[in-house]
Amino acid sequence: MRVVSGKCKGHPLRAVPGTGTRPTTDKVKESIFNIIGPYYEGGTVLDLFGGSGGLGIEALSRGMEKAIFVDKDMKAVQTIRQNLESCRLTEFAEVYRNEAERALKALVKRGIRFDLVLLDPPYKGQKIAALIGIMDQHDLLQPQAVIMAEHAVEETLPDRIGALARTRYENYGITAISIYEHEEGEGDEWEA
């Protein structure tokens, strides 16, 4: 695993010890950022199932100015911190050990709004649609925000969640990517 592009290009990243996480491959990561980026001029990113931190670090490397990483596993939190330190990105990041839904509720209280959200939960027992719904309902997203959800190809996500529409779907073998954004002119008329 490595940083694919940007100011930290080529920098190796540690994987979380054990078999509890499934890191996004460099090939899929490059494809994701070709769709949602590829580069940024500032902004805040949320990496909600941080794992090794590879996706959020990629976003920072490509120009996001701040990242918040969340993972419920202590080994993952430690790995994210080590990877941020080795990439010299610690000052641009916050790392929290928390369950995803509880973390979102804490972020609502802080009034933070995200330009990019990266969701790469474990493939078993995903609650992607519910989490996106929480972000939409509680105003955690900038108007131009992009949400990237990585999920098992057999998991079907809705085309619309609240005021967000799935604007792109890609299949990479057992992995699928769904991109959600606010659709212009449609606003809050949609039902979840």
**Residue range 31-67, pLDDT digits in tens:** 999 999 899 999 999 999 999 999 999 999 999 999 9
Residue 20 confidence (pLDDT): 63
**Which of 3-17, 21-35, 42-56 comes out lowest in average pLDDT?**
21-35
Q: Give the Cβ contact number of residue 152 at 10 Å.
A: 13
d(CA 172, CA 115): 25
d(CA 2, CA 57): 10
Which is higher by pLDDT, 26 or 13?
Answer: 13
- Summarised one tens digit per residue, pLDDT across range 103-117 is 999 999 999 999 999
d(CA 186, CA 160): 11
Residues 26-189, CATH architecture: 3-Layer(aba) Sandwich (3.40)
d(CA 93, CA 85): 10
Instruction: Give the pLDDT band (50/70/90) at residue 189.
Output: very low
In 3D space, the residue among 56, 134, 55, 48 whose CA is nearest the CA of residue 96 turns out to be 48
Region 4-26: mean pLDDT is: 85
Q: What is the pTM of this model?
A: 0.91
Q: What phi and psi values does residue 39 have, to the nearest 5 degrees?
A: -130, 160
Region 174-186: mean pLDDT is: 83
Contacts with 45 (C-beta within 8 Å, 6 or more apart), sequence order = 56, 59, 60, 64, 66, 67, 68, 114, 115, 116, 117, 118
Q: Give the Cβ contact number of residue 95 at 10 Å.
A: 21
Alpha carbons within 13 A on the beta-carbon side of 165: 10
Residue 186 confidence (pLDDT): 46
Residue 188 confidence (pLDDT): 42
Instruction: Give the pLDDT band (50/70/90) at residue 126.
Output: confident
Residue 187 confidence (pLDDT): 44
Residue 22 confidence (pLDDT): 67
Q: What phi and psi values does residue 168 have, to the nearest 5 degrees?
A: -160, 145
Residue 8 confidence (pLDDT): 95
Q: Distances from the Cα of 131 to the Cαs of 120, 147, 173, in angstroms?
A: 12, 11, 24
